Chain A
Amino acid sequence: MTTETSQPSGTPPEETPTPAPKTSNWAAPVARLEVGTVPTNALNLNVAGRRLAGPVQGFGQLWQKTYRVALSDADVTPEVVIRTWKEHFGEFWPKGNRFYGSLTSLEPGEVAVLNLAMPGKMTLSTGVLVIYADDESFAFMTPEGHQFAAWITFSAYRDDPAAVIQVQSLMRASDPLYELSMPIVGHRMEDRFWAATLQALAARFGDPGATVDMQRVCVDRRRQWRYAGNIRENAAIRTTLYRLTHPRAWFHHEGNG
């Protein structure tokens, strides 16, 4: 047996105190998602009873997408940014998209219903589970049927003199139909969505003209054909079918202004 050791540069481990376990930052495992009370105007489909699906369970190419904005106000701390973001998450979303989550602050284990604006004035009903949250970051995981089988991490950190706010998603399109749409509209919609979100958040901290930097890296070009059957849970198809068979739902749901 041979042994090699790699230690990143920096403080040697013997000089570093071992951090206490931060077990409460993670949600407990869930077999199937359960949805709490949501407003009556929410279109609540494709979440309750669904399993979570991360990048391992997705169909399409694996992408790591990073969106960053640097705040010009040097006095804003990452903790303040994240606290504000958790407390007002949906308020920073682009017009027409709704986030039905906690009224107070996002916590691990919380399920939120999303009503997302799609091309052709369609609405896609899906959700997320908050899988992780600490003072400087939080993360979502998507359910089966969502466009993306993904983990999305929201974080803030100091890069002196500024605080940087970041959204990073590790995602595959959930099924072949979504994958087909990625080069046509999928990537562009997601990029616009998170850029607009970060700009709105930056504006909250007094930086309305902030520029969002985007990076897109294809981590795995292969498609996972064994997950092609995910299309059975496709939330876009299911939402469309629901609305076609429930005409009152067209008038029931309210967009975001």
Chain B
Amino acid sequence: MTSDTTTIEVRRLSPTASTIAITGDITSGTEPALMDAYARASDDATRSILLDFSALDYMNSGGIGLLVTLLVRVQRQNQHLFAFGLTEHYRQIFELTRLDDAIGIYDTEAAALERAVGLDGA
């Protein structure tokens, strides 16, 4: 359960939206790095967090649990969580675990951001 094969980058897209880009693996050991990234991605104005999985190498069941923990924190702040860049395999895992009920999945960052902006204006 190490997190030494993971790099997490935060990109501020707009005053209300940030992307957390994950490179490498997501396991339960990734928790400190992911939660640190979320803390940097989120402030009082943030309404949407986008997860960029385009460079995801591997995710195990601990990683899926970690995403639920992140989802809870995001919802507690009345924010929305989106994902993009998932391979077909990991899309299927989101479908299997029914994470896609709560995390909107999009092909691209632009598509996810468009939805996020739409929710801001709703």
Which A residues lie at the B interface, using CB under 8 A? 1-11, 13, 16, 18-19, 21-23, 25-30, 51-57, 62, 64, 131-132, 134, 137-139, 141, 151, 153, 155, 157, 168, 170, 219-220
Contact = CB atoms under 8 A, between A and B. Distances in A.
A137 B61 contact: yes
A18 B76 CA distance: 35
Contact of A1 (B4, B11, B60): B11
Contact of B96 (A6, A19, A30, A155): A30
18 contacts: A2-B12, A3-B10, A4-B10, A6-B40, A8-B4, A10-B4, A19-B5, A28-B92, A30-B96, A52-B98, A56-B68, A131-B96, A138-B61, A141-B96, A151-B64, A155-B62, A168-B28, A220-B76
Given A5-B8, A8-B6, 11 more contacts: A1-B13, A2-B11, A4-B10, A7-B7, A7-B8, A8-B3, A13-B24, A28-B92, A54-B99, A168-B62, A170-B69
B16 interface: no
B23 to A, nearest CB: 7
Interface residues of B, number: 46
9 closest A-B pairs by beta carbon, nearest first, are: A10-B4, A139-B61, A132-B61, A8-B3, A29-B95, A29-B96, A220-B72, A4-B10, A2-B12
Contacts of B12: 1-3
A156 to B, nearest CB: 11
A21 B4 CA distance: 17
Nearest to A9: B4
Given A54-B99, A170-B65, A22 B58 contact: yes
B66 to A, nearest CB: 9
Contact of A3 (B11, B68, B89): B11
B105 to A, nearest CB: 13
A151 B65 contact: yes
B108 interface: no
